[in-house]
């Protein structure tokens, strides 16, 4: 071979030097500042609380939108039932009580369309 293989002692020595160099590098780093770490921890917790509040607000908005959609659907259903009652009331009633009921149904439907009740 064109080069000399390092002996076992050479390899052990270079490994020992590398370990010592890594230890020196680690020891040369400044110590951890506890006040800085506490500040960072507090900032992180503040951000997390803000995110949780934002998520809760979004969930509340979704629930409100869902409730509004359900309310609109119920209103449409009530309007459809009122229209069906009005259509049934337009049939020729035979007695004065039925005439009054038909008139009341038309009035209620008119009020519902106007959004009063």
Q: How sure is the predictor about 30, in pLDDT bands with cuts at 50, 70 and 90?
A: confident
Check whether 20 has a pLDDT greater than 80: yes
Across 54-71, b (16+ Cβ under 10 Å) vs e yields eeeeeeeeeeeeeeeeee
First to last CA, the chain: 102
Q: What's the predicted TM-score (pTM) here?
A: 0.43
pLDDT score of 86 more than 70: yes
- Does 2 have pLDDT greater than 60? no
- pLDDT value for 97: 87
In the predicted model, what is the mean pLDDT of residues 79-107? 81
């Amino acid at each position: 071979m064109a080069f000399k293989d390092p002996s076992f002692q050479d390899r052990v020595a270079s490994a020992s030097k590398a370990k010592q160099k890594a230890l020196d590098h680690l020891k040369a780093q400044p110590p951890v500042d506890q006040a800085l770490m506490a500040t960072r921890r507090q900032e992180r917790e503040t951000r997390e609380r803000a995110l949780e509040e934002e998520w809760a607000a979004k969930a509340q908005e979704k629930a409100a939108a869902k409730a509004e959609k359900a309310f609109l659907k119920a209103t449409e259903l009530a309007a459809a039932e009122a229209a069906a009652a009005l259509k049934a009331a337009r049939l020729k009633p035979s007695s004065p009580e039925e005439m009054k009921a038909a008139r009341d149904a038309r009035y209620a439907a008119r009020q519902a369309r106007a959004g009063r009740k």
